[in-house]
Amino acid sequence: MNISSDFCSTQAEHFRRWTATLLLWSWLSALLYGSSIGALAKSIVHDENGDTLYRRGVSFTDQVSFDNYSLSLRSQRFFLHSGEFHTFRLPVPSLWPDILPKVKASGLNAVSVYVHMVVDFDGFRALKPLYEAALDAGIWIVLRPGYINAETSAGGIAHWATSEEAWMDYILGIIEETGLYQITEGGPVIDNEFTQSVGGEYFAELEEVYRNSSIVLPLTYNDPGQGRNFINGTGAVDLYGLDFYPQGFDCSHPLDWNRVTLNYHQYHEAVNPSQPWYFPEFQGGSFDAWGPTAPGYAPCAVRTGPDFMSVFYLQLWASNAKLLSYYMIYGGTSWGAIPFHGVIIDDLFKSNRD
């Protein structure tokens, strides 16, 4: 059979974009660190004041769906197994295609990506090179614009934003960068996460901007604790998630473990049983604090190392988690004025100068 090279190229590009990246469009990031889809009914229940009580499977595209069992992409059930990667901590876009295949080779199928606040999406601030790298690697992305926390100064919000009403340019810039890379366009984005902040009115205003844009994916939220936030009421999201850091961030005694949490499944059944159980951030490491008694990062690697993983991660699976992201999978460098005042950077340039 003689098939033209143009046809083969077209089919290869189609396959590349099909297998590409699941960009879980995550507009709601956690306080600590930062659609459904055609198969589900569009139902919104309001109280007597007109506030949203419950949003069940708000549909904007049939490419992404979820039920109480799992997320589905194009009618195929999907277990999200992700790790956190911050492009602003590796500000060289040509290196991103090196990171993503290694994440995939480690057994994960997605990366979660915080987006630092900017209004100019060029150079290392651009998102499109990330999407293209993810398409080539065949890995999905969870996109998480700010507020991000992420151990950054002001939680990733530009310092001048405290006196300037410039947040709209940031959000619209992300929408412009991402619109054509949603799964509906053959790209990597399937979900959008919000930021924990001042309250429901804040969320509702952000939701209005997103829903009046080209973004057609479900909105998610990660709760920094078992607080039952934004499941119902003003600013309620499509998919609720829980963050958990069971070992905390004191690495002084790396062999002393905290108790394993045993009520994940019960909590899920109590707060959002009609949705798949989502952990947008689960501890995958720790940071070291300032001060003469700071132990350094080596003990942190022990405290959250393989033994920790084999116990705490298996407990998540036993608790019926179906969307899971580890914070973090790639660290990078907190350069310039990026880091917040509570962490230090390890000495990565140790050498014998004698």
Q: How far, in Å, CA of 255 to CA of 201, rounded?
A: 44
Query: Could you confirm whether 281 is annotated as catalytic?
Result: yes
Domains and CATH numbers, the chain: 19-327 (3.20.20.80)
**Active-site residue, from 193, 201, 207, 208:** 193
245-296 confidence digits (pLDDT tens):
999 999 999 999 999 999 999 999 999 999 999 999 999 999 888 778 888 8
Which positions ≥6 away from 231 have C-beta within 8 Å? Answer: 54, 237, 240, 271, 272
pTM for the model stands at 0.80
DSSP output for 173-234? HHHHHHGGGBGGGTSSB--EE----S-HHHHHHHHHHHHTTT--SPEEEEESSS--TTSSST
Query: Could you confirm whether 151 is annotated as catalytic?
Result: no
193-245 confidence digits (pLDDT tens):
555 445 788 788 888 888 888 888 888 888 998 989 888 888 888 899 999 99
117-164 confidence digits (pLDDT tens):
887 889 999 999 999 999 999 999 888 987 888 989 888 888 877 666
